[in-house]
A and B are shown apart, each in its own frame.
Chain A
Amino acid sequence: MKRKLSLSSLHILLLIIGLIWIYPFIWMISASLKKNFELISSGLKLLPEKAQWVNYARAWNEANFSGYFLNTVIITIFTVLIILVMCALTGYALARVDFPGKKLFILVITGTMFIPKGYTIIPIYIIIKQLGLLNTLGGVILAESSGAHVLFILLFMAYFSKLPKELEESAIMDGCGFFRTFWSIMLPLSKPIIATVAIMQFIWTWNSFFIPFVFTLNKPELRTLAVGMYSFVGEHSVDWVGMTAAATISLIPVIIIFIVFQRFFIEGVSGSVKG
């Protein structure tokens, strides 16, 4: 009896904290449907007098969030694809083949995580500039997929090394070459890892700010949602409801993706502590 009582009081406590926890998002959505003067005068009331969808139209069309949305989608999809391909290939080679230099390769890519790197964004910026890709979506995509994705490589490697050897041998018997074995037999089996990597990278890239900000400084039309938001506030500092409408447009996709696929995401994050 006492246990039950304390359990429900714990529930009540957590529900109250949880409500405060996500209140900023609730407020954001509520404000995005109000009029500007209403936002100031209505105090703590969450429901708008009349839903102002026109705020969304203003953010989408006039403030060019439709363009920012498209840029973000393009950058995110290509970055996820590049990283998926690179990490799956690397993880497979490391898991299935004993090639000379394998230990060294793993040692070096994990080792660079722990050394003081300095301010590496400047050299990356210079490389992208010399490639002539500054202020292009391609430059942002390249910079976003840069570096070694150690966690993802290790996830693929662990998964591929667990698959039985007989599987590969029977594929060879059937006349599959190395690439065919990988592409049509092993890769389809690694769907859970593909999903984890894709979801995690999707969320990171969607949310990334620094790289798209620095790499599109002189090309406003190439801004992503996050960068667009930052400059929107600088340019239209009084339109707070338009700002919250734009923020809602930017956050809703990533929140939905997370809620639907959270299992994969949480597993990936947990993997980084265990590993």
Chain B
Amino acid sequence: MSRLKIITEKKSKPYMSLSPKKVANNKTLRRKRIWWAYLFILPQLLFFLVFTIYPIVMSYVYSVFDWPGIGPLDDFAGLENYTRVLKDPSFWNAFKNTFIYMAGVTLLLLPTSLLLAIALNNVLKKSSVFYRTIFFLPVVTTTAIVGIVMRKVFSSTGVLNEFLMAIGLIDEPHNWLGSPTSAMIILIVIGAWKFFGMMMVYWLAGLQTLPKDVLEAASMDGCNLWQKLRHVIVPILLPVAMVILLLCVSSSLHVFDLVLTLTGGGPYYSTDVVDLYIFRFAFNPDSGLPSMGYASAAGVVFGLAVFAVILLLGWLIRRTKQS
């Protein structure tokens, strides 16, 4: 009631006292507020222009130059960097590995994290904070350090071998990070382990949006967990699931810290990924000067590929939703 009064009073005020002086006053006050607002967004706007817009533009500009990162930007190369990237078999090797990693992590994570989130949300309500803390813990730890610690855990003298030998599964230690296939599998498993908690929390946030009464009605009608999942939970969660899928795909396509510290891309480039490939050209050249132009071109190519994947996923999901 009182709220209503305030609102009506406020609305009527300007009309009641329409003295020209007051109007002018109001106008300068409004203009002053707008200037303050501009001043308030100025720091973020500057940071945004200098550290987001300018770098985006320049990464396209650099990509058409042959440039080591120092000296003038005057050796125009046209599309030569691009053709070199597209013709380089090691780029495509890194490209392939990145997508294998992304597919592996996503397929491992999506169903398992949803299952645990449902268990925490619907069954284990009281102890859910305890489990959430445990399963989220790897997310907050430093990826680069985890990679180094895991290098030891999975090495031939590491804990995994000790354990497998103790329970009699293997007779002699296996160098897990030393052979291409098992190195990729370990990389995927650790990547999934590291990101699992994030996905679980995303799902938990999504599950909060589920209407409780619908679920209860489904239980009353005798639906089991699977039926509830299929006919109630999944359809309602689909929009959230799409966001979660996209977050998982785009973050795992840009894996870097873990690969550099766990395998360094080896053995024999079997776990090399695109961000590591680009990094080598830009900041850690095997011989001679860095190739900033070439690295930028590779970055643009990969950026476009990631963009295409995300568009494709979005389109696919929209189609399945319509049918």
Task: Please report A residues at the B interface, Cβ cutoff 8 Å.
Answer: 7, 10-11, 14, 18, 21-25, 27-28, 31, 40, 43-44, 85-87, 89-90, 92-94, 96-97, 99-100, 102, 105, 109, 112, 114-127, 143, 145-149, 153, 166, 178-179, 182, 203, 206-207, 209-210, 214, 217, 225-227, 229-230, 233, 240, 243-244, 247, 250-251, 254-255, 257-259, 262, 265-266, 269-274
The interface residues of chain B, by DSSP majority, are classed as helix
Interface string of B127-169 (1 = CB under 8 A from A): 1000111111110111111101111110001010011001000
> A97's contact among B36, B43, B151, by CB below 8 Å, is which?
B36
Complex CA gap A274/B202 in Å reads 9
Interface string of B206-240 (1 = CB under 8 A from A): 10110000000000000000000000000000001
Minimum CB–CB distance for B115 against chain A, Å: 11
Complex CA gap A87/B45 in Å reads 11
Instruction: Let me know if B300 and A119 touch, CB within 8 A.
Output: yes
Judge whether B93 is part of the interface by a CB distance below 8 angstroms.
Answer: no
A18 with B54, Cβ < 8 A, contacts A7-B123, A118-B299, A119-B299 known = no
Judge whether B66 is part of the interface by a CB distance below 8 angstroms.
Answer: no
> A251's contact among B142, B283, B306, by CB below 8 Å, is which?
B142
Instruction: Let me know if B135 and A21 touch, CB within 8 A.
Output: yes
Judge whether B91 is part of the interface by a CB distance below 8 angstroms.
Answer: no
Q: Which residues of A contact B40 (CB under 8 A)?
A: 89-90, 92-93, 182
Minimum CB–CB distance for A235 against chain B, Å: 13
The interface residues of chain A, by DSSP majority, are classed as helix
Minimum CB–CB distance for B244 against chain A, Å: 7
Instruction: Let me know if B60 and A118 touch, CB within 8 A.
Output: yes
> A147's contact among B48, B150, B257, B295, by CB below 8 Å, is which?
B48
Q: Which residues of A contact B152 (CB under 8 A)?
A: 31, 240, 243-244
A230 with B144, Cβ < 8 A, contacts A112-B56, A123-B62, A148-B52 known = yes
Q: Which residues of B contact A124 (CB under 8 A)?
A: 51, 55
Instruction: Let me know if A18 and B131 touch, CB within 8 A.
Output: yes
Instruction: Let me know if B33 and A115 touch, CB within 8 A.
Output: no
The chain A residue sitting closest to B282, CB to CB, is: A122
| CB within 8 Å: A-B pair count | 245
Instruction: Let me know if B127 and A11 touch, CB within 8 A.
Output: yes
Q: Which residues of A contact B52 (CB under 8 A)?
A: 112, 120, 146-148
Instruction: Let me know if B149 and A247 touch, CB within 8 A.
Output: yes
Instruction: Let me know if B145 and A93 touch, CB within 8 A.
Output: no
Instruction: Let me know if A209 and B257 touch, CB within 8 A.
Output: yes
A-B residue pairs, 8 tightest by C-beta: A119-B299, A118-B59, A146-B51, A116-B303, A270-B205, A93-B40, A120-B55, A123-B55
Residue of B135, B159, B310 with highest tally of chain A CB at under 10 A: B159
Minimum CB–CB distance for B181 against chain A, Å: 22
Q: Which residues of B contact A40 (CB under 8 A)?
A: 157
Task: Please report B residues at the A interface, Cβ cutoff 8 Å.
Answer: 6, 32-34, 36-38, 40-41, 43-45, 47-48, 50-56, 58-60, 62-63, 69, 116, 119, 123-124, 127, 131-138, 140-146, 148-153, 157, 159, 162-163, 166, 193, 198, 201-202, 204-206, 208-209, 240, 243-244, 247, 256-257, 260-261, 278, 282-283, 292, 295-296, 298-300, 303-304, 306-307, 310
Instruction: Let me know if A273 and B36 touch, CB within 8 A.
Output: no
Complex CA gap A272/B30 in Å reads 33
Residue of A89, A149, A255 with highest tally of chain B CB at under 10 A: A89
Minimum CB–CB distance for B76 against chain A, Å: 17
Instruction: Let me know if A21 and B193 touch, CB within 8 A.
Output: yes
Instruction: Let me know if A85 and B145 touch, CB within 8 A.
Output: no
Instruction: Let me know if B148 and A127 touch, CB within 8 A.
Output: no
> A269's contact among B163, B202, B261, by CB below 8 Å, is which?
B202
The chain A residue sitting closest to B256, CB to CB, is: A210
> A122's contact among B149, B260, B296, by CB below 8 Å, is which?
B296
Instruction: Let me know if B34 and A97 touch, CB within 8 A.
Output: yes
A148 with B47, Cβ < 8 A, contacts A209-B142, A210-B256 known = yes
